[in-house]
Structure 1
Amino acid sequence: MNRRLARLSRLARAAAAASLTFCLLLKPAAFAQAGAPEKIVIMVGGITKLIYLPVRLTEQLGYFKAEGLDVELLSQPAGVDAETELLTGAVQGVVGFYDHTIYLQAKGEEVKTIVVFGQVPGEVALVASRAAGSIKSMADVKGKTLGVTGLGSSTHFLTQYLAYLNGVPASQYTVLPVGADSSFIAAIRQGRIDVGMTTEPTVSQLLKNGDARVLVDMRNVEGTRAALGGTYPASSLYMQTAWLEANPKEAAGLARAFVRTLQYLHTHSAEEIAARMPKDYAGNDKALYVSALNASLPMYTADGKMPADGPPTVLKVLSGFSPSVKGRHIDLSRTFTNRFVDDVKP
């Protein structure tokens, strides 16, 4: 009996030891899985553009980490490419123009903007200096080549609408996708486009060097209302509605991080903000970058909320020329929500 009890005791100790070993091996992996935040990948339609500066600045200031978020930022030169990445599930969010949410609803996709960074496009239609003598307004672009970042991009939408407002249908000019930043500058300098739409700091670079002149300026509320008839909410964070419903905690964390950055933009100088950005953003001319940033600060919202007159203006623009939107019923209430930014405490 004693031998049997001793044998059972040895078996019990062995089983306990095996169980303990298994738990010790399992525990770190299980703990890491339970404790580590799920990565959120956000695609930005040209991360070095000043219209999207709040995104990288949020990362630089450490606000994502402060919310317990693991955020990876990727960049695409055109918003339409980022949109494709979102729909395929390759990324969880896109920082691009709000107008994509309307366009996507017309195609049967449910996408919502949850933070608005720019109450205006921040875009400028530039005419190449060599063509400035014959192109005085968008009414003069008949037979010309117009540069946009990409076909189906927001610059494409706006270029078409401005030409349409000035009596020039899309059949009477050529649209050429030329990307942004250095590729846009090259397209102007090489004579491949006569007019092009782009943002800061590219605008200031071309103006400083005398390569282009301003044709339509939408870097501020006054210029945007003159060109489009109202405010035009542009740069924003939009995500698939299904993801938002499944991940409200993460969405709220993103909203808090971005609104905190927007408040930072309204309480610090252009010099202080530029100092927080990666050094390569300013290129070889820091003074030019600071000047362009200073001119861009009024376009950023202070609270991330959608301007009341914004969605109807954007819908009007898209309905003016886009076959995908024209004549379609669009429920604007399904294209954005202030729910997450409304919960951010000042």
Structure 2
Amino acid sequence: MFTRTGEQRHSYRATIALAIMSVSVAGLAACSSDDSSGGDNHVVLQEYTGGSEYLNYLTKELGNFKKAGIDAEIKDVSNGPQAVNAILAGSVDVAALNPTLTGPVLVKGKKLEVISGYKAAYPALTGTADMAGKEWPDSLLQLKGKTVGVIALGGADQAMCQIALRAAGVKDKDINWVATGSGQGTAAAMSSGKVAGSCASDSPTASLVASGLPELFSFVNPVQPQDIYPSELQDYMGTFSYLQAWVDSSWAEKNPKAVTGVQKAFALTIDWMNEPGNFDKLVSILKKSPYYIKTLSDEQFTGYVKRSIPMYNIQFTDKDAKTWTAMEKEFRDTTMPKSSAWVSSAVVKSTDDVQKLLK
């Protein structure tokens, strides 16, 4: 059982809750939709433009929202707490979030729910050049006593990396965590030698690896077969849903066709991404997008795109809900409501559900 002091748990909860509640009215107005005449099929989707999640962008570029009967509008919202507030304010309809961000408002009685999965666990751990060549668990044991950069202290990225480190035998007290403010900030801290390790999403991790630094652990693209890792770590690997598509429950109740349309559009896009014959076009689209990583060579960017494909999955299973509930209790002392209160009855749970959407 992982343990954390009550003071640290309170700090985690307070940090997230304060960030969510402190977004200004002006900030919410800035991300609100100017088009109120779109009709029942008009859906505003939140996006972290230029970040590590390109599913909304690609879905619109491929015309899959239209194919699914959705008039999609994509709004850039710079961070998770702002995205939660945007849903609560009604300025976006669908946002890419997880229970670390939604938990603080769910426990206060706000009604938000998951309609589908979105992306698997993209945080990865990177080390200094002299840490290359080690296999599990020695790869992560090298970080013992080191300073590791992460976007925010107490966030989901740090929790995921702590889970991996603990499974390797590195205790929480053995790591000095430093907040960098962004994935790019983490990469910069790593490149400048200010930290000896990074816990960051796949985009900044790709830049670090391209510069010659070793990736010590990846949840989705591990160097060794997944079954060699401890069972408690495997629960977070592979298809574990790290980000989900969240909506206001009242909006979902009023717009069931829009919910199904968004699910279908995502299913079409991910199905298209997994067709080998579409890979070159995928790379071409992303090279012209805000998600192009300019620091990578063509070969390196192609490799990054290839590794990103298995991260996208719209299934959100009962096991995912159970894992998140345990994770929030452990790391933030948040007692999540029962899953039926925050997981839509229409959520995409299985491959059969996905296949129905593709018909």
* Cα deviation digits, residues 49-103 of structure 1 (max 9, x gap): 1xx2222110111222332413223142x43443343334442221134554455
Name the counterpart of 2:111: 110
In structure 2, C-alpha distance between the alignment counterparts of 1:139 and 1:168, rounded to whole Å: 10
In structure 2, the CA distance between the partners of 1:306 and 1:203, relative to structure 1 (3 Å rule), is same
What secondary structure, in the 3-state scheme, does the structure 2 residue paired with 1:91 have?
A: coil
**Runs (5+) with no aligned partner, structure 1:** 1-31
Shift of 1:201: 3.3
* Cα deviation digits, residues 102-158 of structure 1 (max 9, x gap): 55434543321212133x30221112336779x955556565433222345321332
Name the counterpart of 2:192: 190
Of the three residues 195, 201, 204, the one matched with 1:202 is 204
Name the counterpart of 1:178: 181
**Is 1:282 the counterpart of 2:292 in the alignment?**
yes
In structure 2, the CA distance between the partners of 1:124 and 1:171, relative to structure 1 (3 Å rule), is closer
Q: Bigger shift: 198-207 or 169-178? A: 169-178
In structure 1, C-alpha distance between the alignment counterparts of 2:103 and 2:146, rounded to whole Å: 29
* Cα deviation digits, residues 259-285 of structure 1 (max 9, x gap): 111111122443221123351433442
Shift of 1:36: 4.7
In structure 1, C-alpha distance between the alignment counterparts of 2:358 and 2:132, rounded to whole Å: 49
In structure 2, the CA distance between the partners of 1:245 and 1:177, relative to structure 1 (3 Å rule), is farther
What is the Cα-based RMSD across aligned positions, in Å? 3.4
Amino acid corresponding to residue 54 of structure 2 in structure 1: L
Name the counterpart of 1:312: 322
CA contact (8 A) 1:113 1:239 kept: yes
In structure 2, the CA distance between the partners of 1:207 and 1:329, relative to structure 1 (3 Å rule), is closer
In structure 2, the CA distance between the partners of 1:105 and 1:144, relative to structure 1 (3 Å rule), is farther
CA contact (8 A) 1:63 1:257 kept: yes
In structure 2, the CA distance between the partners of 1:143 and 1:80, relative to structure 1 (3 Å rule), is farther
Amino acid corresponding to residue 271 of structure 1 in structure 2: D
Shift of 1:188: 0.9
Name the counterpart of 1:40: 43
Shift of 1:176: 0.9
In structure 2, the CA distance between the partners of 1:81 and 1:68, relative to structure 1 (3 Å rule), is closer
Q: Bigger shift: 226-235 or 198-207? A: 226-235
How many aligned residue pairs are there?
A: 304
Amino acid corresponding to residue 318 of structure 1 in structure 2: E
Of the three residues 230, 239, 256, the one matched with 2:235 is 230
Q: Bigger shift: 84-93 or 191-200? A: 84-93
Q: How does 1:42-191 map to 2 (within 5 A)?
A: 42-45=45-48, 47-49=50-52, 52-66=53-67, 67-76=69-78, 78-97=79-98, 99-102=100-103, 104-118=105-119, 120-129=120-129, 138=140, 141=143, 144-163=146-165, 166=169, 168-169=171-172, 173-180=176-183, 182-191=184-193
CA contact (8 A) 1:123 1:218 kept: yes
* Cα deviation digits, residues 289-334 of structure 1 (max 9, x gap): 2111112322332xx22234322223333332222x2xx2541233
Q: Bigger shift: 183-192 or 250-259? A: 183-192
Q: TM-score, normalised by structure 2?
A: 0.71
CA contact (8 A) 1:160 1:321 kept: no
In structure 1, C-alpha distance between the alignment counterparts of 2:122 and 2:153, rounded to whole Å: 19
Q: TM-score, normalised by structure 1?
A: 0.73
What secondary structure, in the 3-state scheme, does the structure 1 residue paired with 2:97 have?
A: strand
In structure 2, the CA distance between the partners of 1:332 and 1:141, relative to structure 1 (3 Å rule), is farther
**Is 1:299 the counterpart of 2:299 in the alignment?**
no
CA contact (8 A) 1:79 1:153 kept: no
In structure 2, the CA distance between the partners of 1:85 and 1:208, relative to structure 1 (3 Å rule), is same
In structure 2, the CA distance between the partners of 1:38 and 1:68, relative to structure 1 (3 Å rule), is closer
Shift of 1:187: 1.6
Shift of 1:196: 1.7
CA contact (8 A) 1:43 1:82 kept: yes
**Runs (5+) with no aligned partner, structure 2:** 1-34
In structure 2, the CA distance between the partners of 1:273 and 1:132, relative to structure 1 (3 Å rule), is closer
Amino acid corresponding to residue 197 of structure 1 in structure 2: C
What secondary structure, in the 3-state scheme, does the structure 1 residue paired with 2:125 have?
A: strand
CA contact (8 A) 1:114 1:337 kept: yes
In structure 2, C-alpha distance between the alignment counterparts of 1:106 and 1:139, rounded to whole Å: 36
